[in-house]
Structure 1
């Protein structure tokens, strides 16, 4: 039996497992190995060190198999090496060196790999490897796991928006009855908000550096003075799919991470707003929960209950995720002089921060799939709220007055006196319209209006969503 300290690796492991391919300790070490291997291949093929052997296709294939075959046995082996070195990146260096020494057993005696042992980790400080490995890990996690989950939520919202574009619903501002809307338009607002943040995250830059112990290429220039080290560094970093940062201390300053985490946290806050609104709509009986989708037990003692657990779970996990992301963004951008090790521990929590967000998005998608609007309750609340028509009536009076009709003054005050703090029926509203002295055509138009029909362009506004739930 395996015991997990936290819920992401325990109760919710099935949902968050995809992130372990990018943000686990094993994944970080795999990417460290990948960076070291690619740097060795780059140095050899570019002839950076005069007279050094050049790898051929078989050598390159062998080298690239080292990170791709990094499994449980290799994880244990690397951990054993680190227990001796007491340094994680140095352990990676030795792990690779030993494989180069053993390469003739696979490639034959003609391979040059044993002769390239000193090229492993050449011209690198640990942070040259770490910053690139972390950037690759985070980039993979965002692009391959978080973004698809966020898009799935935006798509679910867009589908609800289109399906219920014209279904009238009473709005509430400050908890009070307000101008009616439609279910679809409200879902479209969330889809558009979330999609905008998705586009921001999609456009994130993942920066990397390779410039030595204090960002000066000092040892590089002394060892191989004829090389164009900035150009080589840039070419290598960009070959990994990252953006080159030429101006750093010993560490890449992590500003790109702060920007990314702020955007992910913002997406979380939008999703949190969705969770609390859906919870409220369910409490108002504007949405029903399907028993089969939500589970048959809502309370251990009250048989009638079906709790909105998906939205509550999402709300809590979004709060945890956002708190972690905001802490990461605030702390990673500060390093004492050239560097300190606070970022080493801090960055190991990126997986937890994204894991809670991933779990929340999954719950929201499941929650949305398990609810449906309650047209009867929506219609009943609208029919009980004729006072909301005070707004279009007073605006129509203003327009009529501006067009030259007499007796249209003090429209707001007259409607306030009629409706504020009172229960207004359909008959009350029609009698009031008849008493206001409006032009016949305006009075006729308003007399035919009902709260359920007073939704403006809400249904048409849903059309501003494209197929991905984004504004056109």
Structure 2
């Protein structure tokens, strides 16, 4: 059976393909191949611009005036599925994916009339100089072009809802018990602050790349051209041409410490959203929110009345899956035997998996938030049923006035009197041996206005 959303093993490429297909240009096999071609071509161009002695003729002949490398760059700019399949066919013989890219480019050089320069494709490099630049490059693009815009869309929606509900007083619950009232808008802004703080941390972590030959020392480069400062060349190529951050001392592979930090940061953002999903789920369960109903949708196969909070549940499940993989990536990738083993290669190919589950989750939370309908009557009733929460306010004001043992007095009232309603509070205040002005101040405190700053 040909691969389709129905035949895919992973729901990322199956059930959720409509949500995740936008990630294919960053994390698919074809995308990885294209980014390898991109790095190889830009590396060759950088060698020309040194220029290496053997490339001096090519450099002067073709690019002295305009330095127009359009024909070369078209190899990756116009890269097609046909090109990717051609490379995969070469790989059947080489049994080496990066070498297949090199051979593909050599064929292109012949077609472009550049055959005499083709041995400078992949000159002095090992495969990880390509993988450890292509993958962070594609990851950086995905973060900037897909991840952050979607996360910021979610944050902006939370801000908009917080503004809409900024004056909605709401009973807080600590340990599941009634606690000092808060405002619904403020509770959403708690998550906004947490998410924005993590984005700032994420943006401080460099997209690190390894580029230095077979064991990180530019051995082959140096033995061929000892007069060239290859470290400076590598820094310029990785940092300026590719826009990454070259790790200065490496083995054959990138040490992945910064990538691990990025995975941990993405996991932390997901954990914050799990917290958000569970809170909203609980508010829906308490009937603080109803959900917009879409014609034809069914909440339960047996119970016609149900409208389940499935978007928040779907999001929570996908965030958990994403975090499990992010955690493995951050724990495994920085560990490699001696100058390298191959375990990082197969693991790193899966970076698109947690990324995809994360995007699925973001979209689910967005969908769920857009379906919320505030049930303010229930929220107000919950406050009305819990006048007990103003006890904190009353005992605090009495402390200010030097009243003897106010905490104990309120403790006795709230734990002995049974249900504490507005009348019970009013009777307690009226019986206090305090001034009329202070009684008036205390009487003005209600669960609806005792919401702090």
Structures share fold, TM-score greater than 0.5 = yes
Greater Cα offset, 45-54 or 202-211 = 45-54
Q: Which residue of 1 aligns with 2:128?
A: 127
Q: Which residue of 2 aligns with 1:180?
A: 181
Structure 2 Cα separation of the partners of residues 327 and 399 of structure 1 = 54
Q: Compute the displacement of 1:209 (Å).
A: 2.5
1:255 aligned onto 2:264: no
Q: Which residue of 2 aligns with 1:227?
A: 228
Determine which of 83, 100, 112 is the counterpart of 2:109.
100
Q: Compute the displacement of 1:58 (Å).
A: 8.2
Instruction: Give the 3-state SS of the residue equivalent to 1:288 in structure 2.
Output: strand
Determine which of 411, 420, 423 is the counterpart of 1:424.
420
Instruction: Give the 3-state SS of the residue equivalent to 1:277 in structure 2.
Output: helix
Q: Which residue of 1 aligns with 2:96?
A: 87
Q: Which residue of 2 aligns with 1:32?
A: 36
1:347-366 equivalence runs, <5 A: 347-366=348-367
Structure 1 Cα separation of the partners of residues 90 and 169 of structure 2 = 66
Determine which of 291, 294, 297 is the counterpart of 1:292.
294
What CA deviation, in whole Å up to 9, does each residue of 1:170-207 have, x standing for no partner?
11111101111111011111111111112222333111
1:170 aligned onto 2:168: no
1:62 aligned onto 2:57: no
What CA deviation, in whole Å up to 9, does each residue of 1:303-341 have, x standing for no partner?
100000000000100101111111110101101110011
1:451 aligned onto 2:452: no
1:237 aligned onto 2:233: no
Q: Which residue of 2 aligns with 1:412?
A: 407
Q: Compute the displacement of 1:455 (Å).
A: 1.0
Contact 1:22 1:141 in 2 (8 A): yes
Q: Give the number of the structure with larger relative contact order, counting CA–CA contacts within 8 Å between residues 6 or more apart.
A: 1
1:72 aligned onto 2:117: no
RMSD of aligned residue pairs (Cα, Å): 1.4
Structure 2 Cα separation of the partners of residues 26 and 187 of structure 1 = 40
Instruction: Give the 3-state SS of the residue equivalent to 2:170 in structure 1.
Output: strand
Q: Which residue of 2 aligns with 1:463?
A: none
Structure 1: stretches of 5+ with no match in the other structure = 105-112, 402-407, 458-472
Q: Which residue of 1 aligns with 2:285?
A: 283
What CA deviation, in whole Å up to 9, does each residue of 1:74-110 have, x standing for no partner?
1111110111100000000001000000113xxxxxx
Structure 1 Cα separation of the partners of residues 448 and 297 of structure 2 = 34
Structure 2 Cα separation of the partners of residues 32 and 330 of structure 1 = 26
Q: Compute the displacement of 1:360 (Å).
A: 0.4
Structure 1 Cα separation of the partners of residues 152 and 201 of structure 2 = 13
1:44 aligned onto 2:66: no
Contact 2:393 2:445 in 1 (8 A): no
1:304-383 equivalence runs, <5 A: 304-383=305-384
Structure 2 Cα separation of the partners of residues 434 and 335 of structure 1 = 74
Contact 1:143 1:202 in 2 (8 A): no
Q: Compute the displacement of 1:442 (Å).
A: 2.5
Contact 2:388 2:414 in 1 (8 A): yes
Contact 1:123 1:220 in 2 (8 A): yes
Contact 2:48 2:55 in 1 (8 A): no
Instruction: Give the 3-state SS of the residue equivalent to 2:12 in structure 1.
Output: helix
Q: Structure 1 residues 230 and 447, CA, compared in 2 at 3 Å: closer, same or farther?
A: same
Instruction: Give the 3-state SS of the residue equivalent to 2:298 in structure 1.
Output: coil
Instruction: Give the 3-state SS of the residue equivalent to 1:177 in structure 2.
Output: strand
Contact 1:215 1:247 in 2 (8 A): yes
Contact 2:260 2:330 in 1 (8 A): yes
Greater Cα offset, 437-446 or 114-123 = 437-446
Instruction: Give the 3-state SS of the residue equivalent to 2:299 in structure 1.
Output: coil
Q: How many residues align?
A: 442
Structure 1 Cα separation of the partners of residues 82 and 29 of structure 2 = 14
Q: Which residue of 1 aligns with 2:217?
A: 216
Q: Which residue of 2 aligns with 1:435?
A: 431
Structure 1 Cα separation of the partners of residues 217 and 29 of structure 2 = 29
Q: Compute the displacement of 1:114 (Å).
A: 1.6
Structure 2 Cα separation of the partners of residues 380 and 46 of structure 1 = 75
Structure 2: stretches of 5+ with no match in the other structure = none
Q: Which residue of 2 aligns with 1:207?
A: 208
Structure 2 Cα separation of the partners of residues 139 and 62 of structure 1 = 26
Structure 1 Cα separation of the partners of residues 23 and 368 of structure 2 = 22
Structure 2 Cα separation of the partners of residues 262 and 228 of structure 1 = 36
